Structure formats: structure tokens, C-alpha cells
Structure 1
Amino acid sequence: MTAATIPPDDPARALLHVKPDDGNLPHLSIAGGTYTILVSGKQSAGRYCLFEMRVPPGGGPPPHRHDFEEMFTVLDGAVEFTFRSEKTLARAGETVNIPANAPHNFRNVSDQPARLLCMCTPSAQDEYFLRVGDLVASNTAPPPALTPEEQEERKQRAARLAPEYRTELLTP
């Protein structure tokens, strides 16, 4: 076996130190929760993106699949993951990895808000969320009060943009 050559250091890439109270982080209201982009694809040279997700009781995205890996670490609460139609419960401190292309979704099954870290690799999900979510002031800000028409518009926008971000929504 021949040893791989490691490319030289790229001095154009800087250390990234993210602090949760950084007022410059984008916070997005998506599917009733608040997702904060901690590391964007631009910051990781497209290798991954990292989110903090705050999901209210009963909240979570509809069933979907995409051609990239997605890993979740539950920080607070209990989250039920449905993976290829089978359910598993993940609690604080536990990690769940969703392989690319597999149908899945998750739901906060506790009576308290859940908090997760989510990493997608390679990146692009951050760009999708920026286009489908609503910016909010902080990671604890309430979601905007949307009319039924505005809620429907968000769903239609998410469905329309999904293929551009290698995602398929699995709801009718």
C-alpha cells in the first residue's frame, strides 16, 4: 500500500471559533424550530455545515431524503428518529447518523424543547435553510406568526427548491 500524500496547509483557511452568543450567526425559523448555522459550507470549504437545532415539543421536519450524510447529537431532550420506517429514540448525549439517500425524519417526543447539533457532509443544507427559513433575532426567539397562506408558501418553496439541494421531500 502506498502512503497518501497530504496536501499542503491552506493558509487562506483560518481557525473558526464559534461562540453561541455571537450576534452575527444566522438564526432561522424552520418547521416550527429554530436552526442556527454555526459553521457554513463557505467556512468549511464545502466539506460540511453544522447547525444547532432547537425543536419544540412535537416539532421536526417531514419525511425526506438527500444524497449527503447527516449526523445528529442530542444535547437536550428526547428525539424520535424514523429511519427507513423504523423508529429509534435518542436522548441527550446520544448521536444518530443518517446515511445518504435513506428516508428519514425526526420529532421531539418530549414535553420540553429539544436541542441538537446537526452536521451535514458535504455542505449545502445551510444554503437551502437560508432560502426556505425565516430569519429570527436569536436562537431562543419565537418563530414568526405566519398566516395559513404564508405557511403554505413556505412548504411550496421548500418543495420547489429541494431538488436544487439534492433533497427529496417524501410527503404528498
Structure 2
Amino acid sequence: MVCDIVAWRDAMDKQAVTVKDGEGEVLRVLGTDVRFLLEAATTGHRFSVMDVSLPKDQGPPPHEHPWDEAYFVISGRVRFVIGDAVRVFEAGDFAYAPGGVVHGFKGVDETPARVLVFDAPATAEGFFRDLDKETKAEPGIAPDIPAIAQRHGMRFLPPAAT
């Protein structure tokens, strides 16, 4: 469902945004559901917020990019790799991956985990949208994920590096 955003503007043209549970555009990306809560265009690309659902063993493999990301686990358990650290986080736990640091994460349990993902500046959204677009353009044909990632300043590590 496309997000029905309630917005107010004050004298300085600042915009407040509210998104109710179940609202927000959802894209299926890398085996996960990514729900946009606060989009790049709304914040002038300063940051964005996504609600990501992670089924068991699904999520982005180790990768790097120049923007910062922060994660807050809402429910379930998530295995994070950030730099040399590998940890399983649970509801209420928080992680931060500075730009340029290799990181990845995936769901641990049969019940999908949910994680709020914050990126600054807001760049990940463009990657997710391009990946979704190319996946839908040629159903049954896997998109060239490394090429899409490269267009957005991302690099996935080879499997041996994980």
C-alpha cells in the first residue's frame, strides 16, 4: 500500500510526517521486505528510515558504501557483521555501521525479525528502487546486483570474504 502521509507545514516550511502501521511503500529486495517510513525526498536526502523484515538466513550479504547506517532491532534476532565484529542482536538492541565499514545482516529465526534501518545521507533507497525496478522489468531473470550496487556507490564482497 502506498503511504498515506499526514503532513503539516509551519512558517519555515518544515514538514512533519506520520506513518501508521501497515502504511508505507513496501519493496521486496534481497529476500526481505523493505517498508519506507521516511523517504529521502522528504528530508532533502539528509537521511531516511526503513522498516526491514528479515526471514531466516535472508538479508544483505557483507557490503560497503560511503554512507552511514544505524539499526534498531524491533523484534526477533538478527546476525550482524560490522567490521570484524559478529554478533546476534535481539529486540531493543542497536548497531551502527559508519560509511566505508564492511557490514551485513540476516534473520536468525523462523519468525522474521524486524529492524529499523536509518541511513545518512539517504542513499540506500535509490539502490532498493533500482533493484526492484530491474527485477520487475524482466521477471525470471536475475538483475545484475553488482552493477546496480556500483551505480549507487556500493560494493558487495565475494562469498570468500564473508
Indicate yes or no: 2:114 matched with 1:115.
yes
Deviation at 1:164, TM superposition (A): 2.4
Count of aligned residue pairs for this structure pair: 148
TM-score, structure 1 normalization: 0.78
Q: Separation in 2 of the partners of 1:126 and 1:39? A: 10
CA offset digits 1:36-84 (Å, max 9, x no partner): 1111110111110110000111111111001111001001111111122
* Bigger RCO of structures 1 and 2 (CA < 8 A, at least 6 apart): 1
- Offset of residue 163 of structure 1: 2.2
Question: Which ranges in structure 1 are unaligned for 5 or more consecutive residues?
Answer: 1-8, 135-143
TM-score (norm 2): 0.82
Q: Which structure 1 residue ranges, 4+ long, deviate > 6 Å from structure 2?
A: none
Matched, 1:159 2:146: yes
Match in the other structure for 2:46? 47
CA distance in 1, matches of 2:84, 2:30: 20
Q: Is the 8 A contact 2:67 2:123 kept in 1?
A: no
The higher radius of gyration belongs to: 1
2:59 and 2:104 in contact (8 A); partners too: yes
Deviation by residue 1:11-32 (Cα, 9 ceiling, x = unmatched)? 333111111222xx22010111
Amino acid at match of 2:151: E
Contact kept in structure 2, 1:62 and 1:171, CA below 8 Å: no
Q: Secondary structure at the match of 2:149?
A: helix
- Alignment partner of 2:42: what SS? coil
Secondary structure of 1:128 counterpart: helix
Tell me, which stretches of 5 or more residues in structure 2 are unaligned?
Answer: 1-9
CA separation in 1, counterparts of 2:39 and 2:11?
18
Instruction: Note the C-alpha offset of 1:88.
Output: 0.9
Aligned to 2:83: 84
Q: Shift of the alpha carbon at 1:159?
A: 1.2
Going by fraction, where is strand more abundant, 1 or 2?
A: 2
